[in-house]
Amino acid sequence: MKDKLNIIKNGIIKENPIFIMLLGLCSALAISTSLTNAVGMGMAVTFVLIMSNVIISTIRHLIPDEIRIPVFIVIIATAVKCVQFLMNAYTPALYTSLGVFIPLIVVNCIILGRAESFASKNSVIDSLCDAIGMGLGYTLALLIISAIRELIGTGGLSFVNPFNATQTIFRFSFFKSCAISLLTQPSGAFITLGCILAYLQHRRLKKVIEIQKGERK
Amino acid sequence: MKLFELFISLAFVNNVVLSKFYAICPLMGVSKKPKNALNMGLAVIFVIVIASIVTWLLYYYVLVPLDIIYMDLITFILVIASLVQFLEMLLKKTSPEVYKAMGVYLPLITTNCAVLGVALDNITAGYNLIEAIVAGFAVSFGFLAVIYIFALIRERLDYSDVPEAFRGAPIALISAGIMACAICGLAGLI
């Protein structure tokens, strides 16, 4: 049980797909303009990851090694198409606001990367845990980026029920008059993620220096 | 004239990388040496232009008549994957040096969002075949321009004194952000 939890935790923190491995940045940067989008995209990617990881690890002994990548891609594309139909039916507002980035989950490096490096080598349960961990890690990263962008870019935070676009769950407005709208622009996405990565690097460097100091003593 | 407008708008004003966020992964991965970036950009032009022709023909002459539009994603990604495989074999035979220099990034063109993104955009925008080809060329040309300029910037960054915490990916992302700001200045052009 403990090692399953470790696999999940590994995906969320130690190997966070966006902040640590820098995978799947395209969709993460493009849709992180509001919390609602972040949650929707996170759900979609998590669902696709779970489906593809489980299917691939179930049939991993049947796939010939030479053509494994095309097989993976077809499985992933099928899963994405399912998600696309489901979102079109149950979350139409989210479906239009995420637009082309839902079908583009097919070419999201996280999913193919996990299929290649984890699901094709591990058991079904482990792959399921890995998919949940990676999906949650991706969602968490999206939430952090979009919270920063929405807060500074529009001066408030809001969250709309993904299944019913007319129902607003919360809406705060803090400093609407001095919002920096650059952060809602494409360039704001790059700068926000750059600053977050710099902060994480700073923390890592500090840890290394502390360890070196400890060794000297 | 309309085609020229389409070209300018897709290549510069709505640049794929900096305003639509397609293809960030190769931007961060390949663009360390200008020469590799140039090769990558040319390979992407080849793949995107051919992919946009083939996917357009397949969509309107196979998927629509057979009423299986829901198969579009799977068809498109298979077309792209086989095109990349073809390019790999072609380069291996004709110019082994380029093939070696591209290394692992060549198969990664398959997972370049720009290729699938353009194929899907061509369909949703309702372009005809000529427009689809121009759009494919414009998008990939925009990609080539950005990845090459970005590689030159990163080369300069290697020699400059960047704060320790910002070294590597963070400063690269922030430079991309500044480039995106510059592209915003073209917004009123068309």
- pLDDT tens readout for residues A160-184: 877 777 777 777 777 777 778 888 8
- Residues 6+ away with beta carbon under 8 Å from A56: A63, A72, A75, A115, A119, A120, A127
Q: How many domains does chain B have?
A: 1
Q: Using N-to-C axis directions, what is the helix angle for B113-124 and B34-58, rounded to 10°?
A: 40
Span between the terminal Cα atoms of chain B, in Å:
12
Of B25, B73, B115, the CB nearest to A25: B25
User: How many domains, chain A?
Assistant: 1
Assigned domain for A97 exists: yes
Output A120 or B30, whichever has higher pLDDT: A120
Q: How far is B4 from chain A (nearest CA, A)?
A: 24
Distances (CA, A) of B40 to B77, B104, B148: 19, 11, 9
Whether residue A216 has pLDDT greater than 80: no
Tell me how far apart the alpha carbons of residues B129 and B36 are, in angstroms, rounded to a whole number: 31
Instruction: With respect to residue A130, please indicate whether it lies within any of the assigned structural domains.
Output: yes
CB A54 within 8 A of CB A131: yes
Residue A207 belongs to some domain of the structure? no
Where do we find the tokens 């803090």?
A174
Is the CB of B28 less than 8 angstroms away from the CB of A106?
no
Record: contact A69-B170, CB cut-off 8 A:
no
In a domain, A204, yes or no: no
A38 inside domain: yes
- Put simply, the answer to whether B167 touches A201 (Cβ < 8 Å) is yes
High-pLDDT (> 70) share of chain A, %: 100
H or E element: which one contains B163? none
Whether residue A201 lies inside any domain: the answer is no
Predicted ipTM of the assembly:
0.83
- Print the domain residue range for A170: 2-186
Residue-number span of the structural domain to which B107 is assigned: 2-189
The answer as to whether A50 is a domain residue is yes
Whether A26 sits inside 8 A of B23 (CB atoms) is yes
| pLDDT per residue as tens digits for the range B29-81 | 766 778 878 888 888 888 899 999 999 999 999 888 888 888 888 888 888 88
Q: ∠ at Cα B180 (A151, A154), nearest 5°?
A: 15
